[in-house]
Structure 1
Amino acid sequence: MGYVGKWVIYKGIIGLVMLLALIPQTLEAGEKYKKRTVLILTGGHDFDRDAFFRMFKSFGNVAYEERVHPLSENAYTAEWCKRFDAVVFYDMHQQISPEQKSAFRRMASRGMGLVFLHHSLASYQNWPDFEKIIGGKYLLEAETRGGVTALGSRYRHDEEVRVRVADRRHPVTQGLEEFILQDEIYSGYRTQPGIHPLITTDHAESTPIIGWANQYGKARIVYLQPGHDHHAFENPSYRQLVRQAID
């Protein structure tokens, strides 16, 4: 066999070895997250649509469908959300019928994954059960409860936020380190006693707990306060948080 023939065989063997070496890495990347089909609810608050949905497209193995408020009367029923593994709330809506409230509670009781982002904390101001489900409440105006008046919550745009991981063993925060995010902050919102903190911040103008897990029935519930615009949606650590929340 001539020199050229030997060289071709040698190059072929090297190429095959390199290809075989890549296979485990490809399998590992593909198996890191499960394939998910999610329902994304929007409406009631403007947002950077292009950047938001680019984030979901970047997840690769997540199929999604957007539904916009006002929703149909059968919203949240088993039939309405049967195709989905999780529901992502990026809405800020107030009107909800008694039938929809009942369906919402049943949806949570069945164990549906529920992920609430950013301004969804201000939804359904006049429905107390929603605060129990999501684990907190952004007060759009002052509110008196048990003889004690709480002032309305507040927000500030374009703040540099140091995001700290409160529980590194939780599936939502696994593999994450502290990171800096330019985002809108909230302060003065309520949190329920039973929430499990996931991320916090030491920003002086922010409520310290900015992400948590909650339990309502069998539902797997996560709320993430960050997520105002493209600065968050394009941040790799924020993307990882959202992806792991819906996994």
Structure 2
Amino acid sequence: MPSFVVHRNGQAASAAELAPLAFAGYAHFTAMQVRGSRIRGLDLHLDRLRSASMELFGRALPDDRVRTFLREALRVGPADLSLTATVYPSEGEFTAAGADVEPELLVRTGPAADGPQGPLALAVVEHERVLPAVKHVGEVAKTYFLRQAVGQGFDDAAFVDRRGRFSEGTIWNLAFWDGTAVVWPEAEILIGTTMAVVRRQLDRLGVPQRVQEVRPPDLPRLAGAVVMNSWTPGVPVHRIGSVPMPAAPSFHEVLHRAWHAEPRTAP
């Protein structure tokens, strides 16, 4: 039977240590798929944890400590798994404690996942996340709008901001295709690690890409759409709101090619 773990600062976490975190919301995290005990975009995950910690707590765990904690979690599990690393303040929520207390790291592992096959239909919802550049926990709106979308016959939701620009999905980044280039929506968003890996590998492969504002009236002029996250570099989207999106197998192929061009590294 595969062994999965919940570690606090590199050691098995007790129920007493986990209890205060059950409904805590002042924390941030990164999620990754581990294959063969190696991770794509490890540098991006470390950057995310470091920058978000500085934003929320005013200090960050050193990268070498984070890598040590990740290695310990991987050491006792299967070679292929899902891993979530969450950074939270030791002093808890609802306190004005300063940057003199080092944050804690909770690492959880579980079965490997690849995400849905699609194609997906996305409802269009106006919503803007607080601190959009931080992958923080406790975002009730994401699950709420997902459930609302499913209740309306969709598979998930895509967000537009107050200016009517597409930004991201509930747990996804959005990407579009104009027939020759990848189009990333211009808005206040979380740059996902998969998105960042794909972008740098598209550059290396010489595939055109650009960032521009995309609004619902622009959709009929586009040649494809996908969502992506730590599970996958691209799940096809066949409808956004009432607008059908064309199948774009060449788009999906180039995203997956870019993703697989990124080498996996060990923590």
Fold agreement, TM-score > 0.5: no
Larger Rg: 1
TM-score w.r.t. the length of structure 2 is 0.22
TM-score by length of 1: 0.23
